Amino acid sequence: MQLLRTPFQRWPLRHHILMASMAVVVLATGGWWFSHTTASLADARNAQLQSLQAQLVAVREGNPGPPTGDFTQSLPLFSRSDDVVHELSRQAQVLGVQIASLTIAATEPNTSDIRKVQLNLTASAEYRGLKAWLAEILGRYPSLGIQSLSMRSLPNDPLRQEAQLSLVLFVKD
């Protein structure tokens, strides 16, 4: 106890050596702990990377690239376009999207173009609902695409958005 009351400059040489040795031990222990923690974190991240790479390989093997045949054979029949419209309406109801107007225009088949059905509609909902509805419909029907889309806030309800969009469904005869 008396050592702690005496000024540092008056300590005997052996006490200075003892304190320096303790400081070296503390610093060495801290360095070892830091390197050990960093190494275990690196090992965990490496294992996670290998797992994700294995998943990526599995997904790539499960999805063999684009089909080599005529892609138009994968398009839905023209007669199935009504089913797409019904599903579009049903999903809108489920997700709280209100369809104010819907017009359908089908192009006549010709030899040079792919036949398409154009759906022009006006819908309103919260932004999340509109986004989820579009994602659901576009994910369900790969031959459906957005030709134009415009969104604006409703003047009396800033949380709701009004979307005017034109969808194109590519079909085969």
Task: Give the count of domains, the chain.
Answer: 2
pLDDT score of 30 more than 80: yes
- 52 and 117 in a single domain? The answer is no
| Residues 50-86 pLDDT 10s | 988 988 887 887 765 555 567 777 788 888 888 888 9
Query: 133: domain CATH number?
Result: 3.30.70.60
pLDDT, position 57: 85
pLDDT, position 64: 56
- 146 and 109 in a single domain? The answer is yes
pTM over 0.75: no
Q: Which domain holds residue 43?
A: 2-62
The tally of CA atoms less than 13 A away on the side-chain side of residue 10 is 6
pLDDT, position 68: 59
Which candidate, 115, 102, 19, 31, places its Cα nearest to that of 76? Answer: 115
| Residues 131-162 pLDDT 10s | 999 999 998 888 899 999 999 998 888 888 99
